[in-house]
């Protein structure tokens, strides 16, 4: 194929995709439900978009797994065994509807790479992500839980004093 035909073909085939990805106009804040209350999905002007503020305000987390190699119960146990977990004031729930944060774990196919993505369930904002290379999910759950708790603790707990500030 010659170059102009190739460009025309790509333009025609990609144009519907580009149009489908255009942002939709937000609903006006004046839309109300039958009861006269504002619609729950209407954007609020004071919506929290700061990552640390989202992590501070969260009260519940839901763990979901897309792999049989690292189960939800294994990840729950690994999170609960972290030393700072009790200080975070987070509850692990099974239902994603109840959760403020969603932790999605997976394993890349034909590899030993386990991945996680921590998102705000209401807005879909990705708050953290990472990967661990380990032979199986049980081995991967410890370091993965350690990384997640470190991220949560950085946002939720007061800063620890430096080692130089401590007395002898």
The mean predicted confidence, pLDDT, of the chain is: 80
Q: If you average pLDDT over residues 86-111, what whole number do you get?
A: 95
Fold classification of 51-156 (topology level): Rossmann fold (3.40.50)
What pLDDT, on the 0 to 100 scale, is given for residue 23?
46
What pLDDT, on the 0 to 100 scale, is given for residue 63?
97
Domain boundaries defined on the chain: 51-156
pLDDT in tens, 150-167: 999 999 988 766 555 555
Question: Percent of the chain having pLDDT more than 90?
Answer: 62
Q: Which of 124, 129, 116, 130 is nearest to 54 (CA)?
A: 124
What pLDDT, on the 0 to 100 scale, is given for residue 37?
47
Tokens 């007395």 correspond to 167
Q: Are 138 and 98 in contact (CB under 8 A)?
A: no
What pLDDT, on the 0 to 100 scale, is given for residue 1?
57
What pLDDT, on the 0 to 100 scale, is given for residue 48?
43
pLDDT in tens, 17-48: 444 444 444 444 444 444 444 444 544 434 44
Q: If you average pLDDT over residues 77-103, what whole number do you get?
A: 95
Q: If you average pLDDT over residues 105-110, what whole number do you get?
A: 95
Whole-angstrom distance, CA of residue 168 vs CA of residue 165: 9
Q: What is the DSSP string of 71-128?
A: -HHHHHHHHHTSTTTGGGT-EEES-TTT-SEEEEEEE-TTSSEEEEEEEETTT--EEE
What pLDDT, on the 0 to 100 scale, is given for residue 136?
92
What pLDDT, on the 0 to 100 scale, is given for residue 56?
93
pTM: 0.66
What pLDDT, on the 0 to 100 scale, is given for residue 11?
62
């Amino acid at each position: 194929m010659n170059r102009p035909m190739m460009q025309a073909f790509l333009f025609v085939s990609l144009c519907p995709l580009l149009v489908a990805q255009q942002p939709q106009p937000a609903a006006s804040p004046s839309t109300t439900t039958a009861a006269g209350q504002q619609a729950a999905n209407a954007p609020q002007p004071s919506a929290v978009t700061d990552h640390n503020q989202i992590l501070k305000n969260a009260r519940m987390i839901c763990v979901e797994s897309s792999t049989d190699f690292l189960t939800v119960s294994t990840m729950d146990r690994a999170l609960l065994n972290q030393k700072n977990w009790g200080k975070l004031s987070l509850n692990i729930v099974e239902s994603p509807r109840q959760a403020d944060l969603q932790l999605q774990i997976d394993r890349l196919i034909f590899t030993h790479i386990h991945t996680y993505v921590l998102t705000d369930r209401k807005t879909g904002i990705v708050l953290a992500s990472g990967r661990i290379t380990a032979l199986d999910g049980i081995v991967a759950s410890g370091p993965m839980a350690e990384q997640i708790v470190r991220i949560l603790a950085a946002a939720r707990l007061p800063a620890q004093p430096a080692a130089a500030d401590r007395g002898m």
